[in-house]
Chains A and B, each alone.
Chain A
């Protein structure tokens, strides 16, 4: 968000030329988007939840009451509300609260990183394809079409399954899933922008292609692509934890929400509430990212 703000506010063209965006004289486009976003209670609540989960994951070693790896077979599967184990204990007697806090680190990392990488790679490819046109466009977009022929869950699992389990392999698979999706959006926005008069004017004035892309195209394309990418984080979180749930991501005893959900499946008859807790965290994170993304979208699409 910060990068976006600084990128576009310095550029007066962005405020005037961005699609369906009214020209605001007094403040920059991203300034008014931020202002509208701040006035959206649902989006703000979602942002607070995400912030809390992220901070809890980062500061887990400071706030977690116990050791995430140390268990005790005599104190296994304690119920929620236990005097020592506030959120109960897992199938190996490890503190659930501690592990849920620690698990946020890997789960968020594995869910968010593929989208971040795909945002840069996909935007680059999409802008290249959209601006260059011709055979460059054909080659890139036909390859994208092939990857679109796979449902995303299937592609992620096929790649992870072939590469083998592991954190790095999951991140690679998910990145491959999201790059074509972002490329397609970036390409279609770039094609729209390329045909605008001011881009034509810049070209005619003799600016080289890199300058035109950097000054005229980038600021206008990255906004919509960024919003699209934020909407993918929710999917990515669910898929990343899903891969670990299948045994294709994080390996035990490392705490991760999807993996915890899997190992606790055996406990659904003994302690159903504790068994369902890791999924609550995935759900909370995923729905918060979705709501924030929706808020951002409507803050950017206000028409007057």
Chain B
């Protein structure tokens, strides 16, 4: 069920696969992304997200399946496809020998953009990335968050309508992440199609209109964050801690409470529509958890339900 009016998809993948020998990094995934949508690939490390991104980015060849970007096959029209994209790779690859502003200009030259355009554009993007006062600093003098913002600014130098972001905020502190999310949200508002991979469910919930949950190279589920939570989880979750010794043994005493029970090593999760009412049921059985917390279901719970594992391990 697309959340946006259906136009022709800007990205279309059908039974897309990438194998390295016997290892199936991407194993037959299909999805369409309409223009202006913010589409996420959510999954743990090694799920095949980055490999998928590299195929979309036209830098890695697929083993089988179909893939088009703006109607073009990246293996036949590499330069044309890549000219449409802005790419933020998982690892920054800025040129540390160049100054901050020169990194933008040099990158813009790859698109054959003239200097008159690039000088003005670089200043504009530095402002957008809140790096204006660092324009003539060396890249190695920047913090991790600043480098990330510079990489995003660099990806925008050609004014792409499609932006690929591979784990844009991994390794950043919470404040730096919020600044980045704000910048990305503004791009989304301006109609740029965002394709992002993440293993943070809060990031996916903040930025994605629609996402696929990927595990072991396959799509496990697809939908908007709210839809996925509705379909694969309950409205609320009650988290109980009984101490690491007792979490699993107490699970037997909790049978029948809530819709579903998930005993983890460090806590027990009870999925239910009403968390407070569920907690009352627990205490009425004479069980006394050390801590209890009622929260809304998140994509983490969806992932746990679908794969039996946590996202970040």
Chains A and B belong together in one complex: no
User: Interface on B for A, CB 8 Å cutoff?
Assistant: none
